[in-house]
Amino acid sequence: MEDTNSKSKTLKIVLGVLVVVLLGVGFYTAKLYNEKKETEATLVREKQEVMKDLDIMAKQYDEAISENDVANENLIEARARIQELMDSLKISQNSVNSLWRYKKKYMALQEEMDALLEENDRLKTENTDLAISLDSMYIDLEERNKYTDSLLVQNTELATIVEDASSLQAVGLRGLGVIERNSGKLIPTERARRSSKIRICYTVAKNTLSQEGDKELYVQVIDPNNNVLGANEQIQFEDEILNYSVISKFNYENKNLDICEFIGKTNNEKFEPGRYVVSVYNSKHKVSSTEFILK
């Protein structure tokens, strides 16, 4: 009877111990489960924070890249590395070791970004200073070009003035008909039919600006029928053509020089009565003109 009671008590004690053990295991298991859930939630939050920080970093790079007129290869390559890290983080396991590796990479990229953006800001400042300097140089160059153009215009105008001032002039231009005797004596006449020749006389005026030496002027005589008398040959000056009657060739010695030229009849024809126009040209420039009447 006593043995039976003793076994019963032992059994109760064992059952009690088992119950306590089971309750402890259950409590511990529940605690581990809850800690695991909390750890996973914490890892998810930290992963999201790292992803958010990487996204902010990527946007900073995008802004820095967009502000550069010329592509900065260092910024572009760093931006690509961030994108690769973000893509890898999205599919990574939620483990402490994995997250720690990504945090280390993020911190390294953060240091790199700080250095690159600082360098980029320095380059932007230098580019701005350079642009201002180039603008200033461009303005100076424009001013110099304007000044040079102004000097060129002035020099051209001065050269034209000097050329005009040094041009030989014909003064006292006059024309008349003459009768030439067998003795060579010339008698002035106003009669067209009696005129043997037309005599053209003028004075080459002294011009100290003109160089001494052999010179020539072109004399043109036009009859009442608008025909060029004499040689009626042509000479071209740039884009202009001159029909002349005779060329006055002379040696100029920087003093007044009287010159006379004679225009004979063409094919022994008579001179027509009417108005005759006489002009003297220095190259293409008309330097004197007059007219006379033969009756």
Quick check: 149 pLDDT over 70?
Answer: no
Confirm if 193 and 270 have CB atoms less than 8 A apart. yes
User: Mean pLDDT: which of 64-68, 163-167, 280-284 is highest?
Assistant: 280-284
H, E, C per residue of the chain: CHHHHHHHHHHHHHHHHHHHHHHHHHHHHHHHHHHHHHHHHHHHHHHHHHHHHHHHHHHHHHHHHHCCCCCCHHHHHHHHHHHHHHHHHHCCCCCHHHHHHHHHHHHHHHHHHHHHHHHHHHHHHHHHHHHHHHHHHHHHHHHHHHHHHHHHHHHHHHHHHHHHHHCCCEEEEEEEEEEECCCCCEEEECCCCCCCEEEEEEEECCCCCCCCEEEEEEEEEECCCCCECCCCEEEEECCEEEEECEEEEEEECCCCEEEEEEEECCCCCCCCCEEEEEEEEECCEEEEEEEEEEC
| Residue at 155: amino acid letter | N
Quick check: 80 pLDDT over 50?
Answer: yes
Residue 64 CB: number of other CB atoms within 10 A? 19
Quick check: 96 pLDDT over 60?
Answer: no
pLDDT number for residue 249: 92
Confirm if 90 and 83 have CB atoms less than 8 A apart. no
d(Cα 282, Cα 6) in Å, to the nearest integer? 159
pLDDT number for residue 20: 59
**Strand 246-252 versus strand 233-237 pairing type:** unpaired
Q: Return the minimum-mean-pLDDT range out of 44-58, 94-108, 223-237.
A: 94-108
pLDDT number for residue 247: 93
Residue 61 CB: number of other CB atoms within 10 A? 24
Residue 191 C-beta-side C-alpha neighbours within 13 Å: 5
d(Cα 209, Cα 211) in Å, to the nearest integer? 7
Quick check: 218 pLDDT over 90?
Answer: yes
Question: Residue 147: pLDDT band by 50, 70, 90 thresholds?
Answer: low
Quick check: 205 pLDDT over 70?
Answer: yes
**Which residue did the predictor score with more confidence, 166 or 60?**
60
* Radius of gyration (C-alpha) of the chain in whole angstroms: 57
pLDDT number for residue 117: 74
Question: Residue 62: pLDDT band by 50, 70, 90 thresholds?
Answer: confident
Please write the tens of the pLDDT for every residue from 3-29: 566 666 676 676 666 655 565 555 555
Q: Return the minimum-mean-pLDDT range out of 28-32, 183-187, 277-281.
A: 28-32
| Residue at 185: amino acid letter | K
Phi, psi of 212 (to 5 degrees): -75, 160
Question: Residue 200: pLDDT band by 50, 70, 90 thresholds?
Answer: very high
Question: Residue 40: pLDDT band by 50, 70, 90 thresholds?
Answer: low
| Residue at 133: amino acid letter | S
Please write the tens of the pLDDT for every residue from 249-276: 999 888 898 999 998 887 777 889 999 9
Q: Give residue for tokens 């970004």.
A: 113
Quick check: 286 pLDDT over 60?
Answer: yes
pLDDT number for residue 25: 55
- The superfamily in CATH containing domain 170-294 is Immunoglobulins (2.60.40.10)
Q: Give residue for tokens 């052999």.
A: 214
Quick check: 32 pLDDT over 60?
Answer: no
Question: Residue 162: pLDDT band by 50, 70, 90 thresholds?
Answer: very low
Quick check: 161 pLDDT over 60?
Answer: no
Q: What length does the chain have?
A: 295
Q: Is 250 exposed, middle or buried (0-12, 13-18, 19+ CB in 10 A)?
A: middle
